[in-house]
Structure 1
Amino acid sequence: MSAASKTGQLGRNAAVYGGALLLPRLAAFVALIVFSRLLTPAEYGYFALFVISAELMNMVLFNWIRLAFLRLYAEHETQKQLPLLRRTCLAMTGLAMILSLPVALAMALLAAPDRWLVFFALLLSMNFANGIVRLRLSELQAEHRSSRYFAIEVSRAVLSLALSLALVGVTGPHFEALAIGFAAANVGVALVCLASFARDLMQLGLDRTLVRSIVSYAGPIIPITALESLIPLTERYVIQFVAGPAAVGVYAAAQNLVQQPINMLAAAVALAAFPIIMRSAEVDGHGGAQARMREVGSLLLALGVPAVAGIIMLRSEIATVILGEEFRADAIALMPWVAITAILVNLKFHYFDMAFHVTRRLMVQVATLLPATLLTAPLIYLFLQIWGLPGAAAGACIAFAASLAASWIAGRRLLTIPHAFGEMARILAATGVMIAVIWGIGPLPGLLGLIALIVAGGTAYVLTAVALNTLNMRAALTSHMGRLSGRLVGAS
């Protein structure tokens, strides 16, 4: 496959996955709008602790199996051994679920000692759902079956919102109702996904050679994901220890509000990019992988930089429209720090850390996470005592910036990380025009005012980016228009 066709494949797949992620993120926004008005910050704080605890267990227990599945898929597809890979990864997922029992109990006792039994049951339910659903999503990702991926993600999001709303309406605005609806929806989708593995369930087994291959590649991912997930967990647990669950609720609401759009854009790129980069590394060597990495870095910046700038400029309008009144004032102060942290996180994991995956030196990646892991708790504790919740967000941002710097320094020793400085300059110039347009229009009240500012700023950014030929957009647009004109002439 030529470099041009690979570039087109990355762009097309990123667009498809972006669509697959859009509706779930919209459902999450609706949930944030509704539940920040129905629940008190303290009840929302307990839900935030449940979600982050479930995500930590998912990342530590299951994510390394899914990454190994993606990394080894092309090799086993070539060797016609995909059923063996499926059965082994499914069996390892089942073993991880068994190992999750004592971990879930410990986390329930720590996070919600007065509600530990419900918390424990909900964590077990989410472990089952995450193990099955996300393994199935990884298979669909490897097969580039985006429509099935879309259906599963949207079903989970819509069912979670609908069931949670129904239970909150029936039983009252409490953490238990919200979390039970969320978990029940995920379990329901997991049971449907489990049907796709029905044939494999009858032949489960652990192939020793394949297990060794999985562990040799993905074993280091366990400490990586543990450290990666401990960072946000530490943030919320330290805040709970110092300021209580209500402060956790406000902090989590601000994070969810800001990170959803940035993570959605980055995830759309990453979902498409990872299998393409890995396949390029296998087929074309490091040179092919580096070319794809350069495209990924440019695309992440082209999407992330204007998103961060827009969120910072429109933070008051966004918080007023979306969040409940009890959450707004503190969230507005938190949003700039949370936005900057979000783009740093995505650049590290989806761009700089690709060097460790391509060279299979994942233990080095573990070391790059240590600065954030070691600094997060003390910086948040200290800054929270001095400056309140904005100080906690600033401490988290500084801690993760240290980890990104470590990733850049360590990664370049293993693989030359390509940087498109010309693209960066064009992206910053287009973002500057966007900022000037938003600033010139000034604040507009209400939802319609917010939409108008977003549309005006986004239009200014896109037009400037095309004019500057950012990401080769002008050339691609000219080529497309030429082909379209040719077809119209031929049709006439």
Structure 2
Amino acid sequence: MPCRAWRFPTTYPPSRCGWRSLERVRARAPALRAWDAGMSSLFRHASAYAVGTALVTLASLVSFPILTRLLSVADYGLMNTVTLALALLVAVGKLGMQRATVRFYHEGGETSARLPSTQILGMAAVGALATLTWMCVVALLPEHALGTPGLRYLLLLTACLVLVRVLDSAFSNLLYAEGRSAFISTYGVVKRYLALVLVIGVLLASARNAEGFFLATIVAEVVALVWIGWVVAEDNPIRPTRFSRELFIRMIAYGVPMVGVEVAGSILALGDRYVIQQLLGAEAVGVYSASYNLCEYIRGSTMAALSTAVAPMYMRVWEQEGRVATEQFLGRFARSYLAVSFLVAALVTTNAADLVTILASERYVEGTTIVPWVIGGMALDSYVAVAAAGLFLKKRTGAIFTYVAIAAAVNIALNYLLVPHFGIAGSAIATLLSYAVLLATAMVIGRSELTVPFPARSLVVSAFAFGASCMLAARMTSGSPWFDLVLRTAIVIAIYGGITLTLDAGVRDSVRELARMVRNRLWPDAV
């Protein structure tokens, strides 16, 4: 009989299972059990998030050239200014409670029972207060502080979106904590395409200005909010009697430092654009942003999908099986994540010029030199959620703010240092280095709470496979961006897959497990 140690045998002698001792099998059993049970869930949730993100990204790719053609330059600028203001206001209006939802949901008992009403009613009150405060501030601001005519009106018009988006976050994160990834992805796609249709319809039919854009956006987001609110209320009736003042205070205490995290994270992600605008001008920002956004779209549907899907899973393992099982589960996930992220980075790096030519135009191709640096930084950023898992589990939000703020400060400083000498490439290098600082700081601080094994061998193998596949694929060219895209993709997958499967046993195990899950899903009755 073949060895079946993977199935946690307790009667096979060590010699038949290939283990040195039965105790070793039992010591590894919690992690293997968590991994075996969790891989199917991870694959399902990550697939749902990836598909949803890809469809939303497609809508963004469709809307970008349409908006830039239908809106004047001034209105397009107003639209972006108001959108940025809303993003910061919503971050403050949520008070970080949306992050507390996932953490407190798995505590069980009375906490889980009171969480839906406490979270939704609490965030509604805080969001309403933030909306009213913002409206008062905008109304009292002197004209010279606003600078642009019409900006005050747009800020007042869109103030209601602060409350709408705070409530949207409350509902979405409650469903996320429940593991309803399929609905969350479907909801995000429907909301995005509803907004796209309404915006284009309004701009084509009547108001080709920023006001028309935001009126259509408000209608779309309110309709979507009613839908998701109804879905949440079906399983979690919202009653004032279920509101817990004690739980609300605990969630605020956990979440308030996360407001700083979101603001610092915005600076970390967007600060480079401000520096380039200041030092190099708007045209350089456009060239840089085309390639940066390409990386962001791909990161969202791959690396970020994995890190998003694994978060509630390791929290569940932590609550049910404890520290050792969680550490071993995350260690195995880290190997798989590294292999996937380096493969994605290789595919994006080799195909960046072709993708930008197809999606944008040849005017933006010069910006693709930033892609290896930027996609590498994004891979590190997506891994932080795993490296700092202990800080999330122990609710050390102050420590989380510390490492994000440090990385944001490093990013701004490096941009001012490197951009004058290296142009947009200097900003891309600053992005990679600042995310490396983010990950290193998170790992150092996070080790005090949870030791996540770092797969150094997998890192070396994946990095070698990345370099080899990129070098060989870059030499292949036909003159057609479409054919080059297909050819280089096939070459990268073949070379990268061959190297990692040959040299990394962890990758081989993960591929076997994935193949088994796919086979069982497609042919459940097969022996």
Provide TM-score, normalisation by structure 1. 0.84
Give yes or no for the alignment of 1:22 onto 2:54.
yes
Give yes or no for the alignment of 1:226 onto 2:263.
yes
Q: Which residue of the partner structure matches residue 97 of structure 1? A: 127
**8 A contact 2:349–2:470 mirrored in 1:** no
Give yes or no for the alignment of 1:270 onto 2:307.
yes
Q: What one-letter code is carried by the residue in structure 2 that aligns with 1:88?
A: T
**8 A contact 1:39–1:174 mirrored in 2:** yes
The verdict on how the C-alpha distance between 1:9 and 1:289 changes in structure 2, with shifts beyond 3 A counting, is same
Task: Write the deviation string for residues 146-203 of structure 1: whole angstroms up to 9, x where unpaired.
Answer: 3322220110221233233334434587555555544543332112223345585563
Displacement, 1:304? 1.8
Give yes or no for the alignment of 1:285 onto 2:322.
yes
SS in 2 for 1:187: helix
Higher mean C-alpha displacement, 480-489 vs 301-310: 480-489
Q: What one-letter code is carried by the residue in structure 1 that aligns with 2:291?
A: A
Q: Distance in 2 between matches of 1:202 and 1:161?
A: 34
Give yes or no for the alignment of 1:62 onto 2:78.
no
**8 A contact 2:292–2:371 mirrored in 1:** yes
Q: Distance in 1 between matches of 2:471 and 2:326?
A: 37
Task: Write the deviation string for residues 333-363 of structure 1: whole angstroms up to 9, x where unpaired.
Answer: 4434332332232122x22221211233221
SS in 1 for 2:395: coil
Displacement, 1:89? 0.7
TM-align CA RMSD: 3.7
The verdict on how the C-alpha distance between 1:12 and 1:181 changes in structure 2, with shifts beyond 3 A counting, is same
The verdict on how the C-alpha distance between 1:57 and 1:340 changes in structure 2, with shifts beyond 3 A counting, is farther
Q: Distance in 2 between matches of 1:264 and 1:112?
A: 38
Q: Which residue of the partner structure matches residue 13 of structure 1? A: 45
Give yes or no for the alignment of 1:84 onto 2:121.
no
Q: Distance in 1 between matches of 2:336 and 2:74?
A: 38
**Where do residues 105-184 of structure 1 align in structure 2 (5 Å cutoff)?**
113-121=148-156, 123-170=158-205, 177-178=212-213, 180-184=215-219
Q: Distance in 2 between matches of 1:283 and 1:342?
A: 31
Question: Mind listing any 5+ residue stretches in structure 2 that lack a counterpart?
Answer: 1-29
**8 A contact 1:7–1:292 mirrored in 2:** no
The verdict on how the C-alpha distance between 1:388 and 1:340 changes in structure 2, with shifts beyond 3 A counting, is same
Task: Write the deviation string for residues 378-436 of structure 1: whole angstroms up to 9, x where unpaired.
Answer: 43344444444433343344333323222222222332221122333443344345325
Displacement, 1:260? 1.0
Q: Distance in 2 between matches of 1:145 and 1:481?
A: 20
Give yes or no for the alignment of 1:295 onto 2:332.
yes
Q: Which residue of the partner structure matches residue 431 of structure 1? A: 466
Q: Distance in 1 between matches of 2:358 and 2:105?
A: 44
Higher mean C-alpha displacement, 240-249 vs 258-267: 240-249
Q: Which residue of the partner structure matches residue 376 of structure 2? A: 340
Q: Which residue of the partner structure matches residue 387 of structure 2? A: 352
Task: Write the deviation string for residues 15-44 of structure 1: whole angstroms up to 9, x where unpaired.
Answer: 333233332222223334555676688765
Provide TM-score, normalisation by structure 2. 0.79
Task: Write the deviation string for residues 251-290 of structure 1: whole angstroms up to 9, x where unpaired.
Answer: 4443322111112212321222111111222222221221
Displacement, 1:486? 10
Q: Distance in 1 between matches of 2:330 and 2:380?
A: 16
Q: Which residue of the partner structure matches residue 240 of structure 2? A: 203
The verdict on how the C-alpha distance between 1:61 and 1:304 changes in structure 2, with shifts beyond 3 A counting, is farther
Q: Which residue of the partner structure matches residue 105 of structure 2? A: 73
Query: How many residues in Structure 1 have an aligned counterpart in Structure 2?
Result: 486
Q: Distance in 2 between matches of 1:48 and 1:316?
A: 26
The verdict on how the C-alpha distance between 1:452 and 1:422 changes in structure 2, with shifts beyond 3 A counting, is same
Question: Mind listing any 5+ residue stretches in structure 1 that lack a counterpart?
Answer: none
Q: Distance in 1 between matches of 2:399 and 2:223?
A: 38
Identity between Structure 1 and Structure 2 (%): 20
**8 A contact 2:265–2:405 mirrored in 1:** no
Displacement, 1:307? 1.9
Higher mean C-alpha displacement, 91-100 vs 204-213: 204-213
SS in 1 for 2:185: helix
Q: Distance in 2 between matches of 1:42 and 1:100?
A: 28
Q: What one-letter code is carried by the residue in structure 2 that aligns with 1:87?
A: S
Q: Distance in 2 between matches of 1:390 and 1:41?
A: 27
Higher mean C-alpha displacement, 387-396 vs 110-119: 110-119
Displacement, 1:13? 2.6
The verdict on how the C-alpha distance between 1:186 and 1:386 changes in structure 2, with shifts beyond 3 A counting, is farther
Higher mean C-alpha displacement, 304-313 vs 460-469: 460-469
The verdict on how the C-alpha distance between 1:92 and 1:448 changes in structure 2, with shifts beyond 3 A counting, is farther
Displacement, 1:321? 1.0
Displacement, 1:90? 1.0
Give yes or no for the alignment of 1:410 onto 2:440.
no
Q: Distance in 2 between matches of 1:45 and 1:325?
A: 24
Higher mean C-alpha displacement, 196-205 vs 93-102: 196-205
Q: Distance in 1 between matches of 2:524 and 2:401?
A: 53
The verdict on how the C-alpha distance between 1:332 and 1:35 changes in structure 2, with shifts beyond 3 A counting, is farther
Q: Distance in 1 between matches of 2:518 and 2:174?
A: 36
Q: Which residue of the partner structure matches residue 401 of structure 1? A: 436
Q: What one-letter code is carried by the residue in structure 2 that aligns with 1:134?
A: S
